[in-house]
C-alpha cells in the first residue's frame, strides 16, 4: 500500500471514529464512544505510516 493510500484510509478512519464518538456521547452509549476512540487512533496511526512511507520513498528517489 502506498503512503498516500495509507493517509487517505487513515483520514477516513479518523473521521468515522469521531462520528462514532459523537453518536456515542449523544446517546449515552459508552461502548460506541470507546470504539470510536479506538478507530480514531487507528486512523491517526495510518496517517503517520503514510507519512513515513512517503518520506522513505522521497529519500530513495533523491540521487
The residue ranges of every structural domain in the chain are 3-61
Q: How many Å apart are CA 23 and CA 58, to the nearest integer?
A: 40
Question: What DSSP assignment string belongs to 5-59?
Answer: HHHHHHHHHHHHHHHHHHHHHHHT-HHHHHHHHHHHHHHHHHHHHHHHHHHHHHH
Model's pTM, two decimal places?
0.83
- The pLDDT tens digits for 12-55 are 999 999 999 999 999 999 999 999 999 999 999 999 999 999 99
Cα–Cα distances in angstroms (integers) from residue 32 to residues 10, 22, 44, 58, in the given order: 19, 9, 18, 39
> What pLDDT is recorded for position 61?
80
Cell numbers given for 20? 462514532
Amino acid at each position: 500500500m502506498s503512503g498516500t493510500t495509507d493517509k487517505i484510509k487513515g483520514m477516513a478512519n479518523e473521521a468515522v471514529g469521531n462520528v462514532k464518538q459523537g453518536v456515542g456521547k449523544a446517546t449515552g452509549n459508552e461502548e460506541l464512544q470507546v470504539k470510536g476512540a479506538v478507530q480514531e487512533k487507528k486512523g491517526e496511526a495510518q496517517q503517520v505510516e503514510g507519512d513515513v512511507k512517503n518520506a522513505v520513498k522521497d529519500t530513495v528517489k533523491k540521487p
